[in-house]
Amino acid sequence: MHATRVCRGVCVVKPMSHPTSQRPESPDSAAYSPGRRSPQRALVAQGAVAFDGAFTVDELLSCVRESDAKIGSATVYRAVSAMVSHGFLEAVGERDGHALYLRCTDNEHHHHLVCTGCGTVAHAPCPLDDHAIEQAAAQGFVITRHEVNIYGLCAQCLRRGDAQ
């Protein structure tokens, strides 16, 4: 059951940069995930924060393996899953059959517009405004869940003339 606030407006939040070069924050695993703290989960959280846009589990795995070469892919999948269910990460669609995730600190309910060229993300409004929900209810429907995935190209990728 999502929040149903209308949020109009699309604003760029995160220009992409290579995640391996910096670690801007050091989030404690307790900050995003319930249960025990482990160095692996902390590394995965750090990796997620280091990405400035949408990323796949594979990309996150590569990033984390630079700090811990022996970390298993199942561990990263498990950590991502925990972070998603705890709201630290959001699923924002897919790229070439790989699920895309995003660290978004904006608590206002909204969706994301992902640049298919570089992963840069913009905010997008939620389609489920009060009007839509009322009309669904008038027909006897109760909405329980929704996914909105929007893809496009950012200014930089348009300039570079990236395909797709």
Partner DNA sequence: TGCATAAGTGAGAATGATTCTCAGTTGCCT
Partner DNA sequence: AGGCAACTGAGAATCATTCTCACTTATGCA
| DSSP designation for 53 | S
| Contact call for residue 6 and a copy of itself (CB under 8 A) | no
Distance from C-alpha of 29 to C-alpha of 116, rounded to nearest angstrom: 30
* Ranges within 61-100 binding a copy of itself (CB under 8 A): 93
Q: Which residues contact 19 (CB under 8 A, 6 or more apart)?
A: 47, 50, 51, 52, 55, 59, 63
| Contact call for residue 79 and DNA (CB under 7 A) | yes
Among 39, 86, 137, 155, contact with DNA (rule: CB under 7 A): 39
Distance from C-alpha of 67 to C-alpha of 111, rounded to nearest angstrom: 31
In the list DNA, a copy of itself, none, the entry touching 24 (Cβ below 5 to 8 angstroms by class) is none
126-140 exposure pattern, b = at least 16 Cβ within 10 A, e = fewer: bebeeeeeeeeeeee
Name the residue with tokens 């590569």. Answer: 62
| Contact call for residue 163 and a copy of itself (CB under 8 A) | no
CB half-sphere exposure, 34, CA atoms < 13 A: 4
Among 34, 97, 140, 161, contact with a copy of itself (rule: CB under 8 A): 140
Q: Segment near DNA (CB under 7 A), from 13-21, 32-40, 125-133, 142-150?
A: 32-40
| Contact call for residue 54 and a copy of itself (CB under 8 A) | no
- List contacts with DNA (CB under 7 A): 30, 33-41, 56-58, 68, 70-75, 77-79, 81-82, 94, 97-99
- List contacts with a copy of itself (CB under 8 A): 8-12, 93, 111, 113, 115-116, 122, 124-128, 131-132, 135-136, 138-156, 158, 164
